[in-house]
Structure 1
Amino acid sequence: MASSSNELLPAWKSELISLCLGSGILTFGSFTLKSKRVSPYFVNCGLFSRARLIRAISQAYALTLDAHAKTTPEWSFDVLFGPAYKGIPLAATTAEKLAGVDEQKWGDMGYSFNRKEVKDHGEGGLMVGESMKGKKVVIIDDVITAGTAIREAIDIIKAQGGELVGIVVAIDRQEKMPSASEKEGKGDDGLPRGSAIGEVKRETGVPVLAVLTLTDLIQAMQQMGRGEEVKQMEEYYAKYKPTD
């Protein structure tokens, strides 16, 4: 549930959110989303484009994956798959950061990404990097909106002979999927619906992890004394909270 809390965030989450604020990655105001909803906050993951920023987000992905592996001993993976284009630098930099978190466990972690168009010369083919054949694969991407891009990535993994075992994204907005009427600009119909992440979890049966959630953002803003932002995000969540 997205709500303010007196519970302290892990230091790395607080530091990441502060960095996002200072770099304009996390901003507050009035933002019309693709769904036509008007959000009081926006996270522009495309701005993780400078050295210290990509270092911070890739470290956060690595800590998220490592933490899940520690709390779920039966869960493991061999390859990070970064769907073109945004997933490509995330896969490469997160694989390196995983090795730094635990060299013995993650030092041989592979990464792979796809081309948008099949290369017909040189080494050729659709894929670049580690083979996924017969291996356990985690998809790494920035967000899940309607889930279309994730489903395309899953199809690629299956075609390459890999086994999907997890998905990790930067942000979980913790809101229900938009209705057809919303996409047409006619407003929310008020009917119960799950979130995009919840829908992907049900379809795939694998864990879907998020580096940051709306709950995290609310807690961070509360701890910074930014009550107006907290109020706006809580009101937005109350209006669009998912049923899952």
Structure 2
Amino acid sequence: MTQSMTQSATPSSRPLAETRTRLQEIIRGRSFGRGEITLASGRKSDFYFNLKPTMLDAEGAALLAELTLDALAGEKIDYVGGLEMGAVPLAGAIAQLSFMRGTPIQAFFVRKKPKDHGAKLSVEGLAPGESLKGKRVVIVEDVTTTGGSAIKAVDAVRDSGAEIVMVLTMVDRQEGAADTFREAGLDFRSLYKAAEFL
């Protein structure tokens, strides 16, 4: 059995620090790169994070969910969700692991714009008659730069009557998001900072 297979066999049996180190290795190998790019905010950067290859990797998805649930321990969360596309695989993995741990947290996602047909929903994933009203919600995001995308999700979820407990990102690029959320009166946390990869 390879070392990678051994490491991924029982992720929750590892100490938290080892889990965090292993996930950082996966992000570095699958989702971090150098080279000039234009970010969603319009800013230019000489490094990037594309978390999709990590979120859709079997071990990466499991470890992201594990570290997220550990970060949310004691918060009494009803739902996790965020803006499509980045939050979709993340929210699904978190929901699945929460159920397996016996503390289920439901998941949803927010469309960038409501569908122009069918139910025309902006918040997706809820069953008929299910509502976010009065529920404690964490907005999750894969990579956060200025916080603009997460604020869109916050606004849609607040319009649904939910209480936003916090915004939690996997990687904070450290380019203004903390200030954005502080000004909005929102608790903001991250699993990793960009500086840890530079």
- Is TM > 0.5 for Structure 1 vs Structure 2? yes
Query: What is residue 182 of structure 2 aligned with on the other side?
Result: 201
Query: What is residue 110 of structure 1 aligned with on the other side?
Result: 106
Distance in 2 between the 1:21 and 1:170 partners? Answer: 13
Residue ranges of structure 1 left out of the alignment (5+ in a row) = 1-8, 176-194, 218-232, 234-244
Q: 2:53 aligns with which of 39, 43, 47?
A: 47
TM-score, normalisation: structure 2: 0.74
1:105-184 equivalence runs, <5 A: 106-107=103-104, 109-115=105-111, 116-118=113-115, 120-121=117-118, 125-130=121-126, 131-175=131-175
Distance in 1 between the 2:169 and 2:84 partners? Answer: 14
SS state at 1:133 partner: coil
Distance in 2 between the 1:162 and 1:174 partners? Answer: 27
SS state at 1:204 partner: coil
1:1-244 equivalence runs, <5 A: 10-23=17-30, 25-27=31-33, 29-34=34-39, 36-39=43-46, 41-48=47-54, 50-52=56-58, 55-69=59-73, 73=74, 75-100=75-100, 102-103=101-102, 106-107=103-104, 109-115=105-111, 116-118=113-115, 120-121=117-118, 125-130=121-126, 131-175=131-175, 195-206=176-187, 208-217=188-197, 233=198
Percentage of pairs with the same residue: 23
Alignment coverage as a number of residue pairs: 176
Distance in 1 between the 2:51 and 2:25 partners? Answer: 14
User: Cα 1:56–1:164, aligned 2, differ >3 Å: closer, same or farther?
Assistant: same
Distance in 1 between the 2:71 and 2:148 partners? Answer: 27
Equivalent position amino acid for 1:200 in 2: F
TM-score, normalisation: structure 1: 0.62
Equivalent position amino acid for 1:96 in 2: Q
Equivalent position amino acid for 2:185 in 1: T
Distance in 2 between the 1:36 and 1:156 partners? Answer: 25
Distance in 2 between the 1:49 and 1:138 partners? Answer: 18
Equivalent position amino acid for 1:203 in 2: A
Distance in 2 between the 1:197 and 1:213 partners? Answer: 11
User: Cα 1:77–1:15, aligned 2, differ >3 Å: closer, same or farther?
Assistant: same
**Is this contact kept in 1: 2:146–2:180, CA < 8 A?**
no
Deviation at 1:199, TM superposition (A): 2.3
